Amino acid sequence: MFRSACRLLVISAAVLPLMSFSMKTAENTRANGPVYDVRGSFVAAKPDIPAALVAGTDRRVDAAIRATVRSMSLPRAILTVRITRAGGLPILFGRRHEAKVTVDATSVTTGERIASATFTVSTTVFGKDNSVEDALAAKIADRIAAEFKLDGGRPTTIASALAGR
């Protein structure tokens, strides 16, 4: 009985790290291809949102947009990113920070809103680290890059999904 429990524990310990790898194929990428050709972005927030969070998000989203090259003709869009809430809660060894974000995609040709998304991102910072805004800005930019198929983001994995991405 003890031996089978140990085997199960060893197998679980070996399989769990492998589950975090992303399995993407060329067919899968083409089928879920990009919907819009994002040309620019604008990040706005209320006055109570830290300026470093807004600037960091703007810088990272712009870098992802500039890194993206489209091989096919797609409808052009501009992103409007609004950070509506940001805050932190103390936990046992640090703080968990959250931000609520709304992203609107506006058509370049007609000026109409063609897509909208609202999501919450969170990150945990241990100790008294001053890079809270930087870590939260990276999470926001990664989520926007994933949603709009920009090249600046990381592929979604089980490990990043469990981390609150």
Token readout for 68 is: 């993206």
pTM across the whole model: 0.70
- Of the candidates 24, 42, 23, the one whose C-alpha atom is nearest the C-alpha of residue 33 is 24
* Contact predicate 147/153, CB 8 Å: no
> What secondary structure does DSSP assign to 146-164, as a single string?
HHTT-TTSPPP-HHHHHTT
Q: Tokens 């810088």 map to which residue? A: 59
Report d(CA 59, CA 79) in Å as an integer.
13
In this prediction, residue 36 carries a pLDDT of 84
User: First vs last Cα of the chain: how many Å apart?
Assistant: 39
CATH class of domain segment(s) 34-162: alpha beta
Q: For residue range 38-72, list pLDDT tens digits in order.
A: 889 999 999 999 999 999 999 999 999 988 888 88
Q: How many CB atoms lie within 10 A of CB 78?
A: 17
Crossing angle for the helix pair 132-147 and 51-67, to the nearest 10 degrees: 40
- How do the domains of the chain map onto residue ranges? 34-162
Return the pLDDT at 23.
52
Q: Per-residue pLDDT tens for 82-106?
A: 999 998 888 877 788 899 999 999 9
pLDDT: which is higher, 102 or 128: 102
How high is the pLDDT of residue 128?
65
87 vs 126: which has the higher pLDDT = 87
Strand partners, 41: 79
Residue 18 has a pLDDT of: 64
